[in-house]
Every structure is written in structure tokens, then in C-alpha cells.
A and B are shown apart, each in its own frame.
Chain A
Amino acid sequence: MSQTATMDVRQAGRSASIVDVKGDVTANSEDVLMDAYNRASESGVRSIVLNFEGLDYMNSGGIGLLVTLLVRANRQRQQLFAYGLTDHYRQIFELTRLDEAVGIYDNERDALAAAGAR
């Protein structure tokens, strides 16, 4: 069977939550990702930061899932940020123009700074 992702949620100040994405992000990860998103949003933060340092594999299903997440976040007037992407997945974000809707940063500090948490 395909591996799945685990996603822990950390609070980063009052305005941002960090979701630590580990493993595979595929169409199968929907429940895990949406559950993490709900937990990340509990405190009413404006910014959700996705940490992709532990990402093993993401496919088009996973990208579709991020689009769904983006739609939900937009509705909640939340902003998405991401860091820890390898060059390869960064290129895929650029290709799909996800980088225009999700702020991409090199590391957690930069991402949190952009998210207004620091």
C-alpha cells in the first residue's frame, strides 16, 4: 500500500500555525491534511505555514489537495506559506503557479517573518 503522511501542528505566536508535513502527500492524504488544517486553524490564526522538510513524495493528487486547501484557506481569509521544499518540488510549485498563491521560503524563520509571526 502507499505510504501516508503524518502532520503535526505547532503554534507559532498568536498569528501563525506550523504544519509539519512528513511522508507522502497524495490524494490519500486528504483526511490527514484537512485534519491538520482544522487543528492549525483552531486558534483563529491568519497564517498557516506548511513545513515540507519531511516530505518524501508528492504527486499530482497531492498538488490537487493543496489547491483544495488553498480554496478553503482563502475562504477563511487565511494565508498559506511554505518552506523546506526541495528544488524539484519548488519547480513543481512554480510550474503549477502554486508559488503565486502560496508564499515559498527557504526556512522556518523566513516563512514566519513573512507570516507576520515574528
Chain B
Amino acid sequence: MATRTRSLRAIRRRKGAEPGAVVESASAPQSEQAPVDISPGDPLLAYLESAGGPVDLDSLELESPAKEELRSAGVQVVVPLVSQGELIGLLNLGPRLSEQEYSADDRKLLDTLAGQAAPAVRVAQLVREQEAEARERERVEQELKVATLIQQQFLPRELPDLPAWHIAAFYRPAREVGGDFYDFIELPEGKLGIVVGDVTDKGVPAALVMAMTQSLLGAEAPRLVSPSEVMERVNDLLVADMPPKMFVTCLYAVLDPSSGKLQYANAGHNVPYVATDDAVVEFRATGMPLGLLPGMKYEEKEGVLGPGDTILLHSDGLAEAHNGDREMFGFPRLMKHMEHRSTGEAVIDDLLKELDAFTGRDWEQEDDITLVTLQRSRHAPLFAEVLGARSSASSSQDGSPEKDRTLAEFEVASRPGNERTAMARITEAVEELDIPSARLERLKTAVAEATMNAIEHGNNNQADIPVGISAVVEGNDLVIRVTDQGGEKALAEVEQPDLEAKLAGEQKARGWGLFLIKNMVDEMNVDSDATLHTIELKFHLKGDGHGS
């Protein structure tokens, strides 16, 4: 055949859905024609779909802009490619190069060709569509991975360890990672900055804005401290670089752990709830989201977290979760949940359980969920301060020119077996002192026994009451203090346990702890006040300590 179709651009028509079918035609072998746009509403398409064979455009009586356009492009005969009743493409032919008319045989041949080509073209189209979909899926997956990676990079690796405070955080991204973030920032004078925020939008753009916001907060917070000033500054810096239609809601609070004082500013983020013994209180402060407008001012408020109080900072993901009936979890439910939640470590766990029960099993999480709680211990008012004050007081008595050096200061929960944790941490902390191994063994036993005593007798195995432990080099002594909250209980004097009496059943088999401690250390002191009880263990680092 003299005429050939040089390229065949498939068209697919979904009635009225697509802007137009594109048909490439070749009227002459030498020239490549520009594609012809056919509007989806053009009557030619409907005609071709039911034509049942090649159509001669010159003799076709039809009001159709497409027909005219094809003709002016040099197309004489159009062969519709129909697969399963659907027009999927056109074979466009110009005049025969021999300048003869198309014969009946030519038409028959074209019809047969179209009948065979149509399913093949359809298959090719489907394959191409599927490939495109797979590429798109892969691109989306890849983007999700990148977003998740950025997000994870910026989440805190560990939670701050504040004596007498319990801090917990939970972050669970939605499948399509949103822009939630939280952070803890160390501030001067032992204060702690707490950030919870949410970037509008999802995926990589949100993750990048999140990263930018968090970096700015991390840089400005220690310098400015005041939450409202930090917000103002970060807002002005963000506005300059913020992509259109994006902004950041953010709550920034500064905690003074010793007094429980909390200063905060809120840039359009969810209001934190504070659970006290009597009620659940909202810590409200007004302010526009970050990154929208320059020169915004932020209200700064101040509240106090008393012993036993818990504050919950939260992103939308929880309160705005919907169940199967499109009912929202809602803020009132969240606030209600905080009632009677002023102690215990289970606020977040319980909230998630309640969410699970609310949404049911097959729920796909709609948005990131971020929850941060700070709980002030009910039992340990000013615990750390007391420990700190004691160690500095004893150093001034010594009049030692050397400064005290704190090697370790930590707490363990009052659970049986935690004396091993204490022993291990102290062993690690004093490693630099190169204590001879026999003395080190005695030190370990003394620390373990003192901690056990604090856990069992001082704190009655109540896990939420911590045992405070510190190791300080004071002059030539290593001083280890183990503090519990059984202060009011008078400690039995250390007496020599009598093995015979024990064997004869006249003394309890147990009761070796304090006796052991006293024999393991160079000096043991006991100090009690109304609430706290401290065992002080002293080891001489130079010279000949007894028993070395």
C-alpha cells in the first residue's frame, strides 16, 4: 500500500472526561503532521465508534470541526480502531500516492488491519498506563520514605531525664507522613524548652518545613528563652522562606523543673490540658500560626504544674481521628480522659487504647499523632534540689580547695532488682577513679545494699517513688548518696546480726543489709528529715581506707 501511517497516537475517549483526543496523521510520507486535537464532544467520535469500517472524510456529511481539521491536514480516509465497543484510536490516511482512489479491496484490507490492530493497541495502552501507575506509586513510596527519614532525623533520640519529673512522648506517622514534630531543648539555668508542632501539608514539603522550623527553634530558644520572643523571632524568619499555602502551628513552653513554673506561647496549636487533682485546666494563649505573616505578636502566659499534675501536649491526629461513622474523637473526649489522670505513667497508653476502641480495628490513621506528657512527681518535691544542696553543703564544711566533682546523679524506680541497675551505673561512673578491684567489689555491694534498702524499706516497693543516687568526688573521698522517701521512719541502728540467734530461729534469717554496708565502706552516715532519708557511703580514694 502506498499510503502509510507514520505514527499512530492512540486516543482514548472517556465520554466528556478528557480534554480531547490527540490524533497524529500523516498525509504524505515526507512531512510529519502536527497532532490534531479532537474535542471529546465532537460528533465525529460518536460516528466513528459505530462506523464499522473505514470512513471517507470527503463524502462524510457531518457537522464536525474535527472532520474539517483532519481534512485540512490532508487526511482522506479514517479507519477507527475499536476495542470492546470503545474507540481507542484512529488510523488516518492521506491520498494514495498513486493518486488513484482507494479500492474496495484497499478498504477491506484496512478494515481487517484495524480489526487486528485495535486489541493490540489497546493492550499496549493498558501496559503503558500500568507502567505509569507503577512509576507513580514508586515515586510516592520513595517520597514517603524520604519524608519519614527527615521526620525521624529530627525527632529527639532520647527524652530528658529530669529528677522528680516523668516525661513521655509518642509519635506515630500516618501512612502519608504529615508534618508533626516535637522537641526538647536544653535551656540555661536547668530549664527545659518543650516544642510540639504541626506543619500543614504532608510528605516531603511538610518534612522540610518541619526541619527548618525545628532548627530555628533550636537556635533561638536558648538565646531568647521567653516563649513569646522565641515565637516572634521564628515566625519572622520562617515567613521569608515559607512555601505558599503552608504554615506551622506550634506550642512552645519553658519549664522550670524545680518550681514547676511553665511559661508558654501558642502559635495556633492545640491547647494543652493540665490534669490536677481537682480538674482539667486548659493552658490557653493566643497567637497566629508561624510563617503566615511577618511581625506577629504572641501572647505569653504562665502556669504552675504542682506535685502530681500532668500536662498533655497533643497534635490534631488524635482529637480529629474519625471512626467508621465519621464521628470525631474530639477534644471534649480527650479532655475528659485527662480527668483523674494526675499520676501514673499510663496517660499516653490509655489514650491510645481509648483511640483504638473508638476507631476500631481497620482504621487507617488519618494524620500524624503526637503526644507529649510531663508529669510532676507527687512524692518528690524538690528532690534534686535537696540532693544538690546536701552535696554542696558538705563540701563547704570540708573547706577542701578542690571542687566537688559529680560523677553520676540519677534515679531508679522502686522495683525489686533495680539495685543492679544502680550498681551498674555507679560502677560505670567511678571507672575513671581506678579503684582497686577488691575495693570496687565492696563499693558495688554497698551501693546495691543501700539501694535495696531504699527500694524495700524506704519507698515500700512503690515503683512511682524514685530512689535518688549520686556519686560525687569530694576532696579525697568518693561519696555516694542513696536517698529514699521513708524519712519519717526511724532506721534501726546497725547491730551485729547474730548467726547463732538466726540459726536458732531467735532472729530473722534476713536483716544483713545495713550490717553489710557498714562493713563495705570507710564511713557510713544516715541523714533523715520529715520526708527524705539518705544513706551516705564514703570511700577514701587515697591513703589506707579500712579494709582495703
Q: Do A and B come from one complex?
A: yes
Q: Would you give the 0/1 interface string for B408-451, flagging 1 where the beta carbon is closer than 8 Å to chain A?
A: 00000000110110000000000000000010011001001100
Q: Which residue of A lies closest to B519 (CB)?
A: A95
Q: What interface size band does chain A fall in?
A: 20 to 34
Q: Is the CB of B416 within 8 A of A68?
A: no
Known contacts A60-B452, A60-B512; A88/B441 CB under 8 A? yes
- Most central of A24, A57, A61 by chain B CB within 10 Å: A61
**Complex CA–CA separation, A2 to B497 (angstroms):** 26
Shortest distance between the CB of A12 and any CB in chain B (Å): 25
**Interface majority SS (helix, strand, loop, mixed), chain B:** helix
Inter-subunit contact B511/A64 (CB<8 Å): yes
Chain B, 459-517, CB within 8 A of any chain A CB: 497, 499, 502-503, 505, 508-513, 515-516
* A90-117 contact mask (Cβ, 8 Å, vs B): 1 or 0: 0110011110110000000000000000
Tell me the nearest residue of chain A to B497, going by C-beta: A96
Q: Would you call B417 and A95 a contact (CB within 8 A)?
A: no
Which residue from B419, B442, B499, B502 sits with its C-beta under 8 Å from A59? B419
Kindly state the separation between the CA atoms of A66 and B441 in the bound complex, as whole angstroms.
Answer: 20
Contacting pair B420 A95 (CB below 8 A): no
A106 to B296, CA, bound (A): 79
Are A65 and B438 in touch, CB under 8 angstroms?
no
A68 touches B445 (CB 8 A): no
Once the chains bind, are A27 and B510 in contact (CB under 8 Å)?
A: yes
Q: Are A60 and B516 in contact (CB under 8 A)?
A: yes
Whole-angstrom CA separation of A28 from B441 in the bound complex:
22
Bound: A97/B270 CA distance, A: 65
Number of interface residues of B (CB under 8 A): 25
Question: Quick one: CB contact mask for B86-116 with A, threshold 8 Å, 1 for yes?
Answer: 0000000000000000000000000000000
Whether B452 contacts A61 by the Cβ 8 Å rule is: yes
Contact, CB under 8 Å: B503 / A59: no
Kindly identify, within residues 71 to 101 of chain A, every residue whose CB is under 8 Å from any CB belonging to chain B: 71, 74, 86-88, 91-92, 95-98, 100-101
Query: B409 CB to closest chain A CB, in angstroms?
Result: 23
A63 at the interface (CB under 8 A from B): yes
Docked-complex contact A59 and B505, CB < 8 angstroms: no
- Asked whether A64 lies within 8 Å of B509 as measured between CB atoms, the reply is yes
Measured between alpha carbons, how far is A116 from B452 in the docked complex, in Å?
39
Collect the chain A residues with CB atoms within 8 Å of residue B449's CB: 59-60
Q: Known contacts A60-B449, A61-B452, A63-B512: does B499 contact A1 (CB below 8 Å)?
A: no
Q: How far, in Å, is B156 (CB) from chain A's closest CB?
A: 27
CB distance from B19 to the nearest CB of A (A): 68
> In angstroms, how far is the closest chain B Cβ from the Cβ of A91?
8
| B497→A68 contact, CB < 8 A | no
**CB atoms of A65 and B509 under 8 A apart:** yes
Question: A92 near B516 (CB under 8 angstroms)?
Answer: yes
Q: In the complex, are the beta carbons of A2 and B510 less than 8 A apart?
A: no
Q: Could you tell me if A67 and B503 are in contact, using CB atoms closer than 8 angstroms?
A: yes
B222 to chain A, nearest CB (A): 39
Chain B residues with CB under 8 A of A1: 417
Within 8 A of B (CB), among A29-79: 57, 59-61, 63-65, 67-68, 70-71, 74
Contacts of A98 in B (CB 8 A): 499
CB distance from A98 to the nearest CB of B (A): 7
Q: Which of B448, B499, B512 contacts A101 (CB 8 A)?
A: B499
Residues of B within 8 A of A (CB): 416-417, 419-420, 438, 441-442, 445, 448-449, 452, 497, 499, 502-503, 505, 508-513, 515-516, 519
Chain A interface (Cβ < 8 Å from any Cβ of B) = 1-3, 24, 26-28, 57, 59-61, 63-65, 67-68, 70-71, 74, 86-88, 91-92, 95-98, 100-101
The 3 A-B residue pairs whose C-beta atoms are closest, nearest first, are A2-B417, A64-B510, A88-B441
* With A59-B448, A67-B510 already in contact, 13 other A-B pairs whose C-beta atoms are closer than 8 Å: A1-B417, A27-B416, A28-B416, A57-B420, A59-B449, A59-B452, A60-B452, A60-B513, A71-B502, A74-B503, A87-B441, A96-B515, A100-B499
